[in-house]
Structure 1
Amino acid sequence: MAGPRLLRRCLLTALSAVLAGSALAAPAQAAAPTSSTSSAAAEVTTFSDTFDGPAGSPVDSSKWQMETGDNVNNHERQYYTSGTNNAALDGQGHLVITAKRENPGNYQCWYGTCQYTSARLNTSGKFAAQYGHVEARMKVPRGQGMWPAFWMLGTDIGDVGWPNSGEIDIMENVGYEPSTVHGTIHGPGYSGSGGIGAPYSLPGGQAFADDFHTFAVDWAPDSITWSVDGNVYQRRTPADLGGKTWVFNKPFFLILNLAVGGDWPGDPDGSTSFPQQLVVDSVSVTTSNTATGTAIRGLAGKCVDVAAANSANGTQVQLYDCNGTAAQQWTVGSDGTIRALGKCLDVKDNGTADGTPVQLWDCTGGPNQKWVVTDAHDIVNPQADKCLDVKDNDSANGTPLQIWSCSGNANQKWTVG
């Protein structure tokens, strides 16, 4: 992780007692599948907030709780408030978290009288997830000292503390890097400045504050994959930890906040204008109907399989005896993708011709990675208007999959789940 990151932010002291009591709260009940065209699909939305409501109204208290207080751990400058002064709906489908240079309540911070107010929200005790596609569409603020973040903590933090609880930073931005965001994991022996992650930068000097962007992780057993606007930029597994403990195969809850100042971003200066806003369009978590995904079964009762469980780009996708391994655990997403091992089912070279192979590839958001699962048990690539097909109608293990004109034959029929 770039930057002089001496201490990682933890939960506020004032919240620790609450977390200790709610850390083991059960996840919210899953909703029904969101797509009528994929009734057999595994994807369900387990959490969604599109922040609809009258301007000035608070966030949905059944989904979020407000944290209050300061944060000495990173030497941040803001005081987090409750109510709607620093976090409110705008009446146009957004949550606006506003950092202000003010102190109407005479709040006291670790350094004396607080200079700034802002907001931090979490879902502890209200919602937690274990695995899935976790995303937020947001427009970040700009300016020296701004530090917006979308992240997760293990629900056991009240029992084991940080960093043993684990932390997954889906998106962090520091104001002196307007074109760059960071994704990081923290755990025992790799926390604070030792967190493991990578940056993602927009091309051509574009600033993240200029527009909305979608920040996401695809999270599976022993695997976390980060993306921005569908562009995958890193994947982490236990192999990246050098023998240290992977603490991410358990439930986590969500956090949104806008910090002001701190060890990493530095403090605001004369170039920083206030107020600054983190504008959140939506937050969602979609998962499969099992913790690890679901099988896609086809010809002769065999499964769609990633050859040798190899997550490298270009790995053949094939038919194979169903065995329940990660190579056969697929998530059918509301974004039209079908994913395994943190990557997408992809039509090679953006092809549309009969016989074009399908493979595993980094998720790009391209039309060659979009699929529709129909009630007739076809899996169709709309760009090519062709079906996922077992080559030569051959049910032998290792037979490659391809796209082919939809015929209704058995080698094009699939059952998801």
Structure 2
Amino acid sequence: MRVAVLLLIAAALTSCATPAAQPPPTPPTAGSAAAAPSAGTARAPAGWTQVWRDDFDGPAGSPPSTANWLHDTGTCYPGCPAKQWGTGEIETMTDSTANVAMDGNGHLAITPVREGDHWTSGRIETRRADFQPPPGGALRVEAALRLPEVGADGAGYWPAFWMLGAALRDGYQGWPGIGEVDVMESVNGRPSVFAAMHCGSLPDGPCKEVGGGLGSPEHPSPPGFHTFAAELDYSTSPQQVRWYLDGVQFHTVTAAQVDADTWQRATQHGFFLILNVAIGGQFPKAYGGEPGPTTVSGRPMLVDHVAVYTKAT
């Protein structure tokens, strides 16, 4: 979703895709009913082997597993050269269960909360940073999510599920060259999502960071639970990343779109996964949404499960 170590030069190129604004779809009604996720099953998709999974089955109010997840707190990674996570968002991330906790119904709730004029929220990442396709194979990461139930009252909401290259943890430098895959992000309560890949260099380069990265058009996503997935495939020629919503592919980036060195640095390594809900920032602003007095507090993104699969050749 967005990168943690960028100078605010990345504001216009936020580490999430920032395509040209489009006419807004009709927003969902806050509090709309959401069915249980249709893909919230423990079975691996056909042909894939499950290598990691969290179903968030803890009691209500408990934090996520410390064996699986790390909390990112504050307004940036330690020692990073920019604040606000490099994107202009305004919340402070915490490890409080007011912001990140199980709901007791098999979901993790990541909840932005306004306290006076200040927002807090949650951002967690997997302890493991070695999620990678096997040689000549493919990697699939997926999450069944319900986006925050906001509409016109959700200006500035920015939920996301994304991947960062493991090398970022070595001093929190090197973005966007180390690779970022935004599996899903959404802004302002719009009934839609975006996908993107970030790579190359700043202020611009082969991955078109000035235009927001190698991003998808805005893709419809009705209210309720949906399964979002991305696959990094070493077995195709050229290699590619594919994005899916409820099993339907809606975006692709291939190695043919960039030079060989850029693709290798961005994809030939392990990744860690991130879940978060930001408030404010350049991406929501690009779609006409800035947090203000009418932005509602306390609407969570619910996560039914996160899973990682691999496929051998």
Q: Is this a same-fold pair by TM over 0.5?
A: yes
> Is the contact between residue 180 and residue 199 of structure 1 (CA under 8 Å) also seen in structure 2?
no
Q: Displacement of 1:42 after TM fit?
A: 5.8
Q: Which runs of 5+ in 2 are unaligned?
A: 1-9, 17-41, 76-82, 134-138
Q: Deviations over 1:295-348 (max 9, x none)?
A: xxxxxxxxxxxxxxxxxxxxxxxxxxxxxxxxxxxxxxxxxxxxxxxxxxxxxx
Residue in structure 2 matching 1:61, options 66, 70, 81:
66
Q: Given the alignment of the two structures, is residue 122 of structure 1 paired with residue 125 of structure 2, yes or no? A: yes
Structure-2 residue corresponding to 1:279: 302
Partner of 1:201: 219
Mapped partners of 1:250, 1:157: distance in 2: 11
- What CA distance in whole angstroms lies between the structure 2 residues aligned with 1:66 and 1:9? 19
Query: 1:245, 1:35 → 2: CA distance?
Result: 35
Q: Where does residue 51 of structure 2 map in the other structure?
A: 46
Residue number among 143, 154, 165 corresponding to 2:165 in the alignment: 154
Could you say if the C-alpha distance between residues 259 and 285 of structure 1 is closer, same or farther in structure 2, counting changes exceeding 3 Å? same
Deviations 1:160-217, CA, capped at 9 Å, x for gaps:
52112110000010116x1221110001122363400103432xxxx64x20111111
Unaligned runs of 5+ residues in structure 1 are: 11-33, 104-113, 295-417
Instruction: Return the letter of the residue paired with 1:44.
Output: T
Name the structure 2 match of 1:74.
Answer: 87
| Identity rate, percent | 39
Match of 1:144 in 2: 155
Task: Check conservation: 1:128, 1:254, Cα contact below 8 A.
Answer: no
Q: Which residue is equivalent to 2:20?
A: none
| Structure 2 CA distance for aligned equivalents of residues 58 and 50 of structure 1 | 13
SS of the residue corresponding to residue 267 of structure 2 reads coil
Map of 1:217 onto structure 2:
230
Aligned position for 1:169: 182
**SS of 1:156 mapped into structure 2:** helix
How many angstroms does 1:75 deviate by? 1.3
1:272, CA displacement in angstroms?
2.0
Q: 1:122: how far off?
A: 0.4
What is the aligned partner in structure 2 of residue 24 from structure 1?
A: none
Residue 186 in 1 paired to residue 201 in 2? no
In structure 1, what is the Cα distance between the partners aligned to 2:299 and 2:210?
26
Partner residue of 2:292?
269
Give the match for residue 375 of structure 1. Answer: none
| Contact residue 200 and residue 233 of structure 1 kept, 8 A | no
Q: Any idea what the Cα deviations from partners look like across 1:43-79, whole Å, max 9, x if unmatched?
A: 3211101100110001000000001001422111100
TM-score, normalised with respect to structure 2: 0.72
Task: Please identify the structure whose Cα radius of gyration is greater.
Answer: 1
Aligned twin of 2:110 = 97
Aligned length: 244
**Is the 8 Å Cα contact of residues 110 and 122 (structure 2) preserved in structure 1?**
yes
Shift of 1:86: 0.5
Contact preservation (8 Å) 2:14, 2:212: no
**Secondary structure of 1:245's aligned partner:** helix
**8 A contact 2:183–2:228 mirrored in 1:** yes
Contact 2:15-2:198 within 8 A present in 1 as well: no
Judged with a 3 Å threshold, the aligned counterparts in structure 2 of structure 1 residues 264 and 43 are, in CA distance, closer, same or farther, namely closer
For residues 98 and 64 of structure 1, what CA distance do their matches in structure 2 show?
17
User: Does the aligned pair in 1 maintain the 2:130–2:269 contact within 8 Å?
Assistant: no
In 2 relative to 1, CA 53–78 (structure 1 residues): closer, same or farther, beyond 3 Å?
A: same
Report the alpha carbon displacement of residue 133 of structure 1 after superposing the two structures with TM. Answer: 1.4
Please give the secondary structure, in 1, of the residue aligned with 2:262. coil
Amino acid at match of 1:281: D
Counterpart of 2:296, as a letter, is S
For 1:6, the equivalent position in structure 2 comes to 12
Secondary structure, counterpart of 1:133 in structure 2:
strand
Contact 1:186 / 1:192 at 8 angstroms: preserved in 2?
A: no
Distance 1:35 1:99 in 2: 32
**Superposed counterparts of 1:78-89, under 5 Å:** 78-89=91-102
Name the CA distance, whole Å, in 2 between partners of 1:5 and 1:83. Answer: 28
How far the C-alpha of 1:98 sits from its partner, in A, is: 0.4
Which one scores higher on RCO, CA 8 angstroms, separation ≥ 6?
2
Q: Retained in 1: the 8 A contact 2:14–2:282?
A: no
Give the corresponding residue for 1:299: none
For the residues of structure 2 that align with 1:172 and 1:249, how far apart are their CA atoms?
24
Give the distance between the partners of 1:154 and 1:89, measured in 2 at CA. Answer: 27
Kindly indicate whether residue 252 of structure 2 is the aligned counterpart of residue 235 of structure 1: yes
Is this contact kept in 1: 2:90–2:281, CA < 8 A? yes
